[in-house]
Amino acid sequence: MDLNFSPEEVAFRDEVRAFLVAHLPEDIRDRVRRGDDRNVSDDLRRWQRILHAHGWAAAMWPVEHGGTGWDKTRQYLFEIECAAADAPIQLPFGLKMVAPVIMRYGSQAQKERFLPRILDGSDWWCQGYSEPGSGSDLASLKTRAERDGDHYVVNGQKAWNTLGQHADWIFCLVRTDPAAKPQRGISFLLVDMKTPGIRLQPTKLLDGGFEVNEVFFDNVRVPVENLVGEENAGWTYAKFLLGHERTNIAGVGASRRELARLRRMARECRREGAPLIDDPLFATRIAQVELELKALEVTNLRVIFAEARQQAPGPEASMLKIRGTEILQRISELQVEALGARALAYEEDVGGDGEDVPRAAAQYMNLRKLSIYGGSNEIQRNIIAQTILKL
């Protein structure tokens, strides 16, 4: 056993660091650091193009499709370094979700048409899974697609669509056989967001932001060539996709960055006339979460190591998701606690010249979502209980 990264891995990490210093645009980095997402669409696309120019557009893709071909450890190191440097996240919907499905189950034409445009940032994808009545129980979804000649005609409603307002394409689960058992009659469709009959309605979240939408489909005609794989086999693809959604799900990079921010805030904020970081009560709280993050990091690496010997991510990903989200949520709580009463002043339209102060409360509220989406933490615990513990 050797818990150190190999010299090659260390060299790789240094290369990533050097790249980030040289190529991450300062203005984008500043906006990420301040949590200002008002330019998110341009920033994410621009960053994707820069990564693409360097051959690093898709850390997790195989080389044959233009990916890096990196192993999981390198992907992990890349994620950590990007977060530490305040690089924007790469949205998962195209790169990590729909692309693996297209690679594995899509037609040759779909691969040629969609993958390059995901790689270079030309197409922004969003995920159309959840519906108002179908969240945790996704298989109960009702949005219908009926075959009409060369088209499917889609009717229904999707909910909680993240950043769909910027999207060019949406991948949807739709019901194509209402008579079959719930999991059997579902298909996986790729839909151009510009198709007539699609309407987006923004949903205001508790922090005042508009990052999710309801999507209404009113007789939306989708060419049959946009069906992935076989009709009514969509659930299989969806499950395959969920496995991929969970790579790097622990979010260690983000937690590390936020922990550094927390320490900075605790040095700057004062209580009883002294820096908060000198307060044993608060310092102990920081130490506690730091330890939890350390335990998660090592666990994450163990899972990566085990995966390298098997295949798709197993149910252990559930553990990483639960702990990762709990820790990031806890850090954001401590950031608000560090600010104390200063966190009360709040503008819904955060960003601009705002430093840590307006961001902390908004982030704390917004990050409640982490334990809800992507399969809620309760559902993840059910998976651990049923799949690992065989209860």
Ligand X SMILES: Cc1cc2nc3c(=O)[nH]c(=O)nc-3n(C[C@H](O)[C@H](O)[C@H](O)COP(=O)(O)OP(=O)(O)OC[C@H]3O[C@@H](n4cnc5c(N)ncnc54)[C@H](O)[C@@H]3O)c2cc1C
Which residues contribute to the site for ligand X (CB under 6 A)? 126-130, 135-136, 160-162, 212, 369, 372-373, 376, 378-379, 382
**3-state DSSP assignment of residue 4:** coil
Active site residues: 245
Cα gap 130→159, rounded to integer Å: 6
Backbone angles phi, psi at 62, to 5 degrees: -70, 160
Give the count of residues interacting with another protein (CB under 8 A).
46
364 binds another protein (CB under 8 A): yes
Select from 197, 208, 243, 314 the one that contacts another protein (CB under 8 A): 208
Residue 302: contacted member of ligand X, another protein, none (CB under 5 to 8 Å, by partner type) = none
Nearest-10 crossing angle of helices 72-84, 252-268: 30
* Side-chain half-sphere exposure of 22, counting CA atoms within 13 A: 9
Minimum Å distance from CB 241 to another protein? Answer: 19
Cα gap 391→387, rounded to integer Å: 8
199 binds another protein (CB under 8 A): no
Nearer to ligand X among residue 161 and residue 332 (C-beta): 161
**3-state DSSP assignment of residue 250:** coil
Select from 44, 98, 99, 159 the one that contacts another protein (CB under 8 A): 159
Query: Facing residues of 154 across strands?
Result: 145, 220
- The kind and range of the H/E element at 83 are helix 72-84
Query: Facing residues of 191 across strands?
Result: 170
Which residues, 260 to 299, sit near another protein by CB under 8 A?
269-273, 281-282
200 binds another protein (CB under 8 A): no
Select from 3, 109, 341, 391 the one that contacts another protein (CB under 8 A): 341
| Polymer length of the chain | 391
Q: What's the N-to-C CA distance of the chain in angstroms?
A: 32
Residue 162: contacted member of ligand X, another protein, none (CB under 5 to 8 Å, by partner type) = ligand X
Output 279-282 pairs: Cβ under 8 A, ≥24 positions apart.
Answer: 282/334, 282/337, 282/338
130 binds another protein (CB under 8 A): yes
Residue 127: contacted member of another protein, ligand X, none (CB under 5 to 8 Å, by partner type) = ligand X
Q: Could you tell me where the DSSP H helices lie in 106-139?
A: 108-119
**DSSP β-ladder status, 125-128 and 169-175:** parallel
Cα gap 42→32, rounded to integer Å: 13
Minimum Å distance from CB 166 to ligand X? Answer: 12
Residue 105: contacted member of another protein, ligand X, none (CB under 5 to 8 Å, by partner type) = none
Select from 20, 40, 200, 372 the one that contacts another protein (CB under 8 A): 372
Residue 129: contacted member of another protein, ligand X, none (CB under 5 to 8 Å, by partner type) = ligand X
Q: Which residues bind another protein (CB under 8 A)?
A: 130, 134-137, 140, 159-160, 203-206, 208, 212, 269-273, 281-282, 333, 336-337, 340-348, 361, 364-365, 368-369, 371-373, 376-378, 381-382
